[in-house]
Amino acid sequence: MLKIVEAPDPILATISTECEVGDKSLLRLAKQMAKMMYANNGCGIAAPQVGVNKRLIVIDVDWDGEESASKNPIFLVNPEIVEAKGEKVIDREACLSCPGISVPVERHPWVRVGYFDLDGEEWEIEGDGLLARCLQHEIDHLEGKTLFESCLPEVRIKALQAYDQAKAMGAKPGESSIEVQ
């Protein structure tokens, strides 16, 4: 059974290895990751967040958290940002691996990402808003970057302190009650 890996676990700071395109064993892992993401009210999850050092992410930015809502996860194998456009925008982000907090993060407002699906077919996805933010956030995980490395430098120490406080209060993945300014 997979579980959410929480910072400062060293696997979150490790650059993930490429998956073998078309590897049928990825299907089981991807489905387990999606189940973990939905169970913790996430809109994205990367394999390192469940302790697996592979370049695999799952996203579903349309799911609204309701059990009866339609779930349409997108599974991205070996995703890479092909293009990022626009003046960077600051917005709040939370992370399943850093429960209890949300922090301001600066991201491109639009990205195009190349990836393979679970059948080994090559695709591209492009998007703005939450989709662009989620893609960049999850790909950061594949590069060994957590929310703390991605947040604005001037809030990093406050974010680490707030995370320690949230953990001491028993924060669980999917919770983000402390907003770091």
Q: Which tens digits make up the pLDDT trace of 105-137? A: 999 999 999 999 999 999 999 999 999 999 999
User: For residue 125, what pLDDT is reported?
Assistant: 98
Mean pLDDT computed over 20-25: 92
Residues 6+ apart with CB under 8 A from 140: 146, 149, 150
Find the mean pLDDT for residues 68-81: 92
- Which residue of the set 18, 20, 87, 138 is catalytic? 138
Over residues 12-39, the mean pLDDT reads 96
Residue 121 among the catalytic residues: no
Neighbours of 102 (CB within 10 A): 21
Beta-carbon contacts of residue 89 (< 8 Å; ≥ 6 apart): 106, 107, 108, 109
Look up residue 146 and give its two tokens.
């957590």
Eight-class DSSP state of 65: S
Q: How far apart are the first and last CA of the chain?
A: 36
- pLDDT of the residue at 178: 87
User: 84 has which bridge partners?
Assistant: 111
Average per-residue pLDDT in the chain?
Answer: 95
Given a cut of 80, whether residue 65 has pLDDT beyond it is no
Question: For residue 36, what is the enclosing H or E element?
Answer: helix 25-39
